[in-house]
């Protein structure tokens, strides 16, 4: 999966292409602004996707173990 750094590099390269176009300064600025807006949108989507992946994965194996043995909370320890 491409990360935030990869996205930044991609848009930096695209910005370099825009700089080399033989157009007016105004047209170049419009294109660069469009790229900046698109980059922000793409980065936001990627970060949101990464956040959803992180939330979907448990931070440790404890939830799986607790579910496997039927542990429901601290009250279960008192029954031992």
Q: Which of 9-18, 23-32, 50-59, 65-74 has the highest mean pLDDT?
A: 23-32
Residue 22 lies in a domain: yes
> How many domains does the chain fold into?
1
Residue 10 lies in a domain: yes
pLDDT at 2: 67
pLDDT at 28: 84
pLDDT band at 58 (very low <50, low <70, confident <90, very high): low
Residue 67 lies in a domain: yes
Residue 14 lies in a domain: yes
Distance CA 77, CA 16 (A): 63
Residue 80 lies in a domain: no
pLDDT band at 64 (very low <50, low <70, confident <90, very high): confident
CB burial of residue 24 (10 Å; 0-12, 13-18, 19+) = exposed
**Which domain covers residue 13, as residue numbers?**
4-75
């Amino acid at each position: 999966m491409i990360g935030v750094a990869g996205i930044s590099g991609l848009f930096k390269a695209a910005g370099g292409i825009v700089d080399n176009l033989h157009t007016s300064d105004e047209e170049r600025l419009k294109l660069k602004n469009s790229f900046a807006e698109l980059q922000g949108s793409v980065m936001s989507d990627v970060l949101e996707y990464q956040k959803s992946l992180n939330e979907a994965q448990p931070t440790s194996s404890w939830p799986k173990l607790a579910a496997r043995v039927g542990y429901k909370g601290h009250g279960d320890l008192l029954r031992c």
